[in-house]
Structure 1
Amino acid sequence: MASSSGTATTSSGGSYPLQISGSDEDLQRLMDQKKRKRMVSNRESARRSRMRKQKHLDDLLTQVSQLRNGNSEVLANVSTTMQHYTRVETENSVLRAQVAELSRRLESLNQIMAFMNQPIDAGCGLAVEQYCVGGTELIDEFMDNSLSCFYANQPILASADMI
């Protein structure tokens, strides 16, 4: 420690001699002042550190809130998209069923056309006037051959409103 005679002495933590030019009271005041200055500096540094930590925490909470809002929007969009997809898939199923039904009808009509285009008998080649002469001949021929050759050249078209 320091002596009052002003001679060389060692510091409390080291082995190097210090030259003291003032009294012990001046030295104590100087050390107390440095200690207070260091305490104030440490307190200020701790305060800044707490402020940075609080700001970082606030930023993270803001980011969490934004991400939760974003997630809510994404989930809403996914839900809307799934509803739209389900509706479109249902419509596609209905349209596929309609296509299948119309295809069956068209195939049946094509079979009828193929049947009607086959030579039926010698009566089919007769002129229309011959059928009109004897009124019952047309009816008899039509009844015997339910698909009359009069309709053989009529086009058959399928439409969506047939269902």
Structure 2
Amino acid sequence: MTPTPEQLLSIAREYWRPDRYQHLTQEPSPEAHKLEARWREALQKVDRWHAFLTDLKQVLPDFTIGDGTATPDACFRCVAYPVKGRPLPPFDWVVVGCISILAPVYMVYGVEFEQAGKARLGSRVSFEPLPPQMRSPADIFARKIEETFGVSALPREVAEIPVPLVVE
């Protein structure tokens, strides 16, 4: 069951402040320490995450699957590029799946890139409905995330609610 917006805000308040405290001092806030501790817990189960990425590579053989996880973000993040190979050839879009380490929710979105030669000039994020070329890998991401982690999709209307917290 997807948590309510109020429940999600309550969870977020445990890990981020409503002021700029951590940006104005050299010392991490108590909330930042709590997020670090949560990451330490989550990383103890990283084998499950790596198995998930390996499974995605099997079900999306025409894509390059990557781990886009970056702490202190509060999620594991996977990406699917619509090309295969190393080094990565130029690509115009990517599908991203994010699984929260704080609440039983996930989100899938797409990013389209504007390019001039090898340089990226900009990007545009797409949520539901995704552009046609992104729908199939996004549907696979969503299905595999739900099967593997037992989490629910974060409804777009909830994701668009402004949050009165300071998050890097």
TM-score when scaled to structure 2?
0.23
Greater per-residue strand proportion: 2
Structure of greater Rg = 1
Larger relative contact order (Cα-Cα within 8 Å, sequence gap ≥ 6):
2
TM-score when scaled to structure 1?
0.23
Greater per-residue helix proportion: 1
